[in-house]
Amino acid sequence: MTGDQPEAHGVLFAHGGVASGHSLYLRDGRLHYVYNWLGERVQTVQAPDPVTPGAHVLTAEFVKTGDDPATMSATGTLTLYVDTVAVSDAEIMTQPGIFSLVGDGLCVGRDRGPAVSPDYRAPFAFVDHEREVLAYIARD
């Protein structure tokens, strides 16, 4: 995200789809992460505050703390970061393995669908309006 306008939105990273996967995205100015556990449990972590305008590094980190014996899934804490500052965290359950049960692979800058999260409609392409305007002006 760059510039002075907080209008950037869309998928930064998506892996998998509606049957299983995870996605990091901007919506309503806030950083979100969703983990779709086998299409049965959609777990969302969202930052409480909008990301400030300007260049940032937006990340999600999962730290395993245990295993769920009933599902054989990893459990742990998912933390969202804006630059090096932790902005939100939550306990989630993950299913180790491949996220391409429905043929969706790794996507950067969009989710080619079906969407990992019901929170957005695929492709929900990442858009930085200020960068688009600057690129348009540079063509002249």
Percentage, residues of the chain above pLDDT 70:
84
Q: How far apart are CA 116 and CA 35, in angstroms?
A: 8
Q: What is the pLDDT of residue 44?
A: 96
pLDDT attached to residue 1: 45
User: What 8-state DSSP symbol labels residue 115?
Assistant: -
Q: What pLDDT is attached to residue 3?
A: 42
Tell me the Ramachandran region of residue 9: left when phi exceeds 0, alpha when psi lies from -120 to 50, beta otherwise: beta
Residue 7: which region, alpha, beta or left (left: phi > 0; alpha: psi -120 to 50)? alpha
From CA 30, how far away is CA 56, in angstroms rounded? 13
For range 3-22, the mean pLDDT:
79
